[in-house]
Amino acid sequence: MADIKTLSEFIVERQADFPGASGDLSQLLTAFRLAAKIVSREANKAGLMADILGAQGTENVQGEQQQKLDVYANDLFIRMMRTQGAVCAVASEENDDIVHFDNGGKYVVTMDPLDGSSNIDVNVSIGTIFSIYKRISTGAKATLEDFLQPGSEQVAAGYIVYGSSTMLVYTTGHGVNGFTLDPSIGTFCLSHPGMTTPPEGKIYSINEGNFYDFSDGVRNYIDDCKKQKMSARYIGSLVADFHRNLLKGGVYLYPGTAKSPNGKLRLLYEANPLAMIAEQAGGSATNGSMRIMDMKPTELHQRCPLFIGSKAMVEKAMKA
Ligand code: AHM
Ligand code: MG
């Protein structure tokens, strides 16, 4: 049997990438690992459990209906981080404001605990996205300033995709590695070491229902994809669409429209973490005119257009 490397072994081994590291970041990744397993378990039996499926009956700060699993995953990830101690505050899609832990932790985390919520009830892949920054403020509590750092300051970023199998993919700025959950032993095992994305691909992912709201440039690009007989693939779960395109080569676009010039996706906990992973894998991520990770955030729940995936495709879409 081939050697199996578990995520925990890998995290310990890679701690050497950070000279002088105290192990806090490793601990934090461990908290994500555990929460991911629990969300995976709940998502897998969602169809059987009335208390997991369906709407919670509340809205988040962006006026979106919260699903029960959104709230469950949010509470769980926050609980895991609170008990673990390296994180002093979290900004989540599901919380209006920063959640403080008052524990002196040196990191802050942004997250979308359950991405693709509209797919929960219909048994389609969903995900979790997270991003880790060093705290830069020095007062008693973390401040907005800690969360409004550009994506280029991310210490680590990752996602979990709850699909036909559950995978955790992350980067600490030294390449991208992917781990698949083996449910029989309850362990994430290194399945995709040193992930890279093809520079070109044949898949374009965009909600074409919005075609007539897009700019001429985006419409031209879509036309061009059709002329080249590319494959249109759109799951409606950013993590799952991104993951597929990362492996196969492709581009995911969520552009702005006249009505919503900044599109739908959020800079801090959707665009930035996936941009770091895309770049670390050799791909690219822009908002249509500039690199996502160079944007200076101004708000916690700020939205931004997103063009992400294979480098040549993102460049072409920007020029169209
Ligand atoms: P969510 O974080 O509330 O689930 O919303 C983000 C999701 C992405 O996962 C997905 O790519 C996009 O919204 C789909 O939006 P649309 O239905 O407008 O195409
Ligand atoms: Mg989301």
Per-residue pLDDT of 214-241, as tens digits, reads 999 999 999 999 999 999 999 999 999 9
The predicted structure's pLDDT at residue 18: 67
Q: Is the CB of 68 under 6 A from ligand 1?
A: no
Atom of ligand 1 nearest to the CA of 117: 4
How does residue 53 score in pLDDT terms, banded at 50, 70 and 90?
low
Nearest alpha carbon to residue 84 among 107, 61, 62: 107
| pLDDT at 61 exceeding the cut of 90 | no
What average pLDDT does this structure show over 283-290? 97
pLDDT computed for residue 289 by the predictor: 95
Cβ-Cβ contacts under 8 Å for 15 (sequence gap 6 or more): 21, 23, 25, 26
Closest among 218, 276, 193 to 242, alpha carbons compared: 276
Q: pLDDT band at residue 253, thresholds of 50, 70 and 90?
A: very high
The pLDDT value recorded for residue 102 is 86
Worst-scoring range by mean pLDDT, 7-16, 168-177, 278-287?
7-16
Which atom of ligand 1 is least distant from the CA of 64? Answer: 3
Distance 238 CA to ligand 1 centre (A): 6
Q: Give the pLDDT of residue 52.
A: 62
Mutate which of 218, 253, 265, 302 for ligand 1 pocket (most atoms within 8 A of beta carbon)? 265
Of the pLDDT bands very low, low, confident and very high (cuts 50, 70, 90), residue 17 is: confident
DSSP H or E segment with residue 188: strand 187-192
**Hey, what CATH topology would domain 7-192 get?**
Fructose-1,6-Bisphosphatase; Chain A, domain 1 (3.30.540)
Residue 246 has pLDDT above 60, yes or no: yes
pTM of structure: 0.94
170: phi then psi, degrees, rounded to nearest 5: -150, 165
As a whole number, mean pLDDT of residues 294-304 equals: 98
Cβ-contact 88, 105 below 8 angstroms: yes
Q: Is 117 in the pocket of ligand 1 (CB under 6 A)?
A: yes
Does the pLDDT of residue 164 top 70, yes or no? yes
Burial status of residue 122 (CB atoms within 10 A of its CB: 0-12, 13-18, 19 or more): exposed
Percentage of residues in the chain having pLDDT higher than 90? 77
* pLDDT tens per residue, range 65-102: 677 888 889 999 999 999 988 999 999 999 999 999 98
Q: Find the mean pLDDT for residues 119-141.
A: 94
Q: Are 160 and 168 in contact (CB under 8 A)?
A: yes
- Tokens representing 202 are 């044949």
Cα distances (Å, whole numbers) of residue 167 to 10, 98, 304, 315: 15, 28, 26, 28
Q: Among 118, 257, 262, which is best to mutate for testing ligand 1, by the most ligand atoms less than 8 A from CB?
A: 118
Compute the distance from residue 21 Cα to the ligand 2 centre, in Å. 31
Q: Which ranges in the chain are annotated with CATH 3.30.540.10?
A: 7-192
pLDDT at 49 over 70: no
Please give the average per-residue pLDDT across 17-28, as a whole number: 76
Q: Is the Cβ atom of 297 under 6 angstroms away from ligand 1?
A: no
Residue-level pLDDT at 147 = 98
Residue 176, classified by CB atoms within 10 Å of its CB into exposed (0-12), middle (13-18) or buried (19+), is buried
74 lines ligand 1 (CB under 6 A): no
Protein residue with least CA distance to atom 17, ligand 1: 236
User: How many other C-beta atoms can be found within 10 angstroms of the C-beta atom of residue 153?
Assistant: 12
CATH code 3.40.190.80 region(s) in the chain:
203-319
Q: CATH class for domain 203-319?
A: alpha beta
Poorest-pLDDT segment among 57-66, 82-91, 172-181, 247-256? 57-66
